[in-house]
């Protein structure tokens, strides 16, 4: 599937303008932590502690904020089990899986080229 920016703008004239919902969602999914949390969840359901370990460097507050935002956006599903201690699992929704099918190739490209690009700067 090849789509140009001009085609997107032609089909949705207000897209990416100030105050447009596309900017809000792009900020959520392309943020430093949003990308890493989504990438971790693309491999399957994760508990809080698993996400905290896999997304190296994220604080508890940032993980909580990022997960809450992605749940509110409908990209991540949060399931809480009535146990002691609390047991909460996070997984991608169908919308989140669709997003990650498109985003994982970009993440792969970044992983492949990051060292070379950083060395140039």
Q: What is the pLDDT of residue 14?
A: 74
- pLDDT category, 1, cuts 50, 70, 90? low
- The residue extents of the domains of the chain are 1-30, 32-120
- Peptide bond between residue 34 and the one before it cis (omega within 30 degrees of 0): no
Q: What is the pLDDT of residue 65?
A: 97
**Which numeric CATH code is attached to 32-120?**
1.10.10.10
Among candidate residues 56, 81, 55, 84, the one with its CA nearest the CA of residue 70: 55
pLDDT tens for residues 60-99?
Answer: 999 999 999 999 999 999 999 988 888 999 999 999 999 9
pLDDT tens for residues 14-56?
Answer: 777 777 788 888 888 999 999 999 999 999 999 999 999 999 9
- Containing 64, the helix (H) or strand (E) segment is helix 60-72
Q: Which residue has the tokens 């001009």?
A: 6
């Amino acid at each position: 599937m090849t789509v140009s920016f001009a085609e997107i703008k032609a089909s949705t004239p207000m897209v990416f303008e100030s105050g447009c919902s596309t900017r809000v969602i792009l900020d959520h999914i392309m943020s430093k932590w949003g990308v890493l949390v989504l990438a971790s969840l693309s491999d399957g359901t994760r508990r809080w502690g698993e996400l905290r370990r896999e997304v190296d460097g994220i604080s508890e507050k940032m993980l909580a904020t990022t997960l809450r935002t992605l749940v509110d956006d409908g990209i991540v599903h949060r399931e809480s089990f009535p146990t002691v201690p609390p047991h909460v699992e996070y997984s991608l929704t169908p919308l989140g899986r669709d997003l990650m099918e498109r985003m994982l190739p970009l993440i792969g490209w970044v992983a492949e080229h990051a060292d070379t690009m950083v060395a140039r700067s």
